[in-house]
Amino acid sequence: MKNIIISLIHLAFIGFFVWLLTIVIRALLKYLKSSDVRQEKSVVRRSLGELLKQHRIRCKVTQEFVAETIGVSRQAVSKWENGMSDPSTSNLLALAKLYGISAEDLLREVK
Protein backbone atom coordinates (compact mmCIF):
# COMPACT_ATOMS: atom_id res chain seq x y z
CA MET A 1 0.00 0.00 0.00
CA LYS A 2 2.80 2.37 0.94
CA ASN A 3 4.62 1.62 -2.34
CA ILE A 4 1.49 2.44 -4.34
CA ILE A 5 1.13 5.84 -2.64
CA ILE A 6 4.79 6.64 -3.26
CA SER A 7 4.41 5.58 -6.91
CA LEU A 8 1.35 7.83 -7.28
CA ILE A 9 3.26 10.78 -5.78
CA HIS A 10 6.14 10.18 -8.21
CA LEU A 11 3.72 9.93 -11.10
CA ALA A 12 2.03 13.19 -10.05
CA PHE A 13 5.41 14.90 -9.79
CA ILE A 14 6.43 13.70 -13.26
CA GLY A 15 3.06 14.80 -14.66
CA PHE A 16 3.47 18.25 -13.12
CA PHE A 17 7.01 18.54 -14.50
CA VAL A 18 5.86 17.56 -18.02
CA TRP A 19 2.99 20.09 -17.82
CA LEU A 20 5.35 22.84 -16.67
CA LEU A 21 7.85 22.02 -19.41
CA THR A 22 5.05 22.17 -22.01
CA ILE A 23 3.99 25.62 -20.80
CA VAL A 24 7.57 26.92 -20.94
CA ILE A 25 8.10 25.57 -24.47
CA ARG A 26 4.85 27.14 -25.69
CA ALA A 27 5.82 30.51 -24.18
CA LEU A 28 9.27 30.38 -25.78
CA LEU A 29 7.81 29.53 -29.18
CA LYS A 30 5.35 32.41 -28.93
CA TYR A 31 8.18 34.77 -27.94
CA LEU A 32 10.35 33.64 -30.84
CA LYS A 33 7.52 34.15 -33.33
CA SER A 34 6.97 37.72 -32.10
CA SER A 35 10.45 39.00 -32.99
CA ASP A 36 9.21 41.01 -35.99
CA VAL A 37 6.62 42.80 -33.87
CA ARG A 38 9.13 43.50 -31.09
CA GLN A 39 11.65 44.86 -33.58
CA GLU A 40 9.07 47.14 -35.20
CA LYS A 41 7.93 48.48 -31.83
CA SER A 42 11.54 49.12 -30.85
CA VAL A 43 12.12 51.20 -33.97
CA VAL A 44 8.98 53.25 -33.39
CA ARG A 45 9.83 53.85 -29.73
CA ARG A 46 13.39 54.78 -30.60
CA SER A 47 12.18 57.16 -33.26
CA LEU A 48 9.75 58.88 -30.88
CA GLY A 49 12.48 59.09 -28.25
CA GLU A 50 14.97 60.56 -30.70
CA LEU A 51 12.36 63.06 -31.82
CA LEU A 52 11.59 64.13 -28.25
CA LYS A 53 15.29 64.57 -27.52
CA GLN A 54 15.78 66.53 -30.74
CA HIS A 55 13.00 68.97 -29.83
CA ARG A 56 14.29 69.32 -26.26
CA ILE A 57 17.77 70.16 -27.51
CA ARG A 58 16.34 72.54 -30.11
CA CYS A 59 14.55 74.40 -27.31
CA LYS A 60 17.80 74.40 -25.28
CA VAL A 61 16.25 72.95 -22.13
CA THR A 62 17.37 70.17 -19.80
CA GLN A 63 15.55 66.97 -18.93
CA GLU A 64 15.10 68.36 -15.44
CA PHE A 65 13.39 71.48 -16.78
CA VAL A 66 11.07 69.39 -18.96
CA ALA A 67 10.26 67.10 -16.03
CA GLU A 68 9.49 69.98 -13.65
CA THR A 69 7.41 71.80 -16.26
CA ILE A 70 5.10 68.89 -17.07
CA GLY A 71 5.14 67.35 -13.58
CA VAL A 72 7.05 64.08 -14.02
CA SER A 73 10.42 62.79 -12.88
CA ARG A 74 13.62 63.40 -14.80
CA GLN A 75 13.98 59.63 -15.07
CA ALA A 76 10.64 59.46 -16.91
CA VAL A 77 11.87 62.00 -19.47
CA SER A 78 15.09 60.03 -19.84
CA LYS A 79 13.15 56.78 -20.41
CA TRP A 80 11.03 58.47 -23.09
CA GLU A 81 14.09 59.79 -24.88
CA ASN A 82 15.91 56.45 -24.68
CA GLY A 83 12.87 54.56 -25.99
CA MET A 84 12.44 52.52 -22.83
CA SER A 85 8.86 53.74 -22.40
CA ASP A 86 6.38 56.05 -24.09
CA PRO A 87 4.78 59.15 -22.59
CA SER A 88 1.06 59.05 -21.85
CA THR A 89 -1.26 61.02 -24.09
CA SER A 90 -1.53 63.87 -21.62
CA ASN A 91 2.25 64.03 -21.23
CA LEU A 92 2.70 63.91 -25.01
CA LEU A 93 0.32 66.87 -25.35
CA ALA A 94 2.24 68.75 -22.64
CA LEU A 95 5.56 68.01 -24.38
CA ALA A 96 4.24 69.25 -27.71
CA LYS A 97 3.00 72.46 -26.07
CA LEU A 98 6.34 72.93 -24.28
CA TYR A 99 8.27 72.43 -27.52
CA GLY A 100 6.01 74.83 -29.41
CA ILE A 101 4.54 72.37 -31.89
CA SER A 102 1.18 70.70 -32.19
CA ALA A 103 0.80 67.14 -30.96
CA GLU A 104 -0.37 66.17 -34.43
CA ASP A 105 2.84 67.51 -35.98
CA LEU A 106 4.90 65.78 -33.32
CA LEU A 107 3.28 62.41 -34.02
CA ARG A 108 3.41 62.96 -37.76
CA GLU A 109 7.21 63.15 -37.54
CA VAL A 110 7.45 59.69 -35.95
CA LYS A 111 8.67 57.04 -38.40
- Return the CATH fold of 38-111: 434 Repressor (Amino-terminal Domain) (1.10.260)
Where do the structural domains in the chain lie, given as residue ranges?
1-33, 38-111
107 close to 39: Cβ distance less than 8 angstroms:
no
- Given a cut of 60, is residue 28 above it in pLDDT? yes
pLDDT confidence bin for 2, thresholds 50/70/90: confident
pLDDT at res. 32: 86
Task: For 38-80, write each residue's pLDDT tens digit.
Answer: 777 766 655 789 899 999 999 999 999 999 999 999 999 999 9
CA distances in angstroms from 78 to 19, 52, 56, 85, 99, listed in the order given:
42, 10, 11, 9, 16
- Confidence category of residue 111, pLDDT binned at 50, 70, 90: low
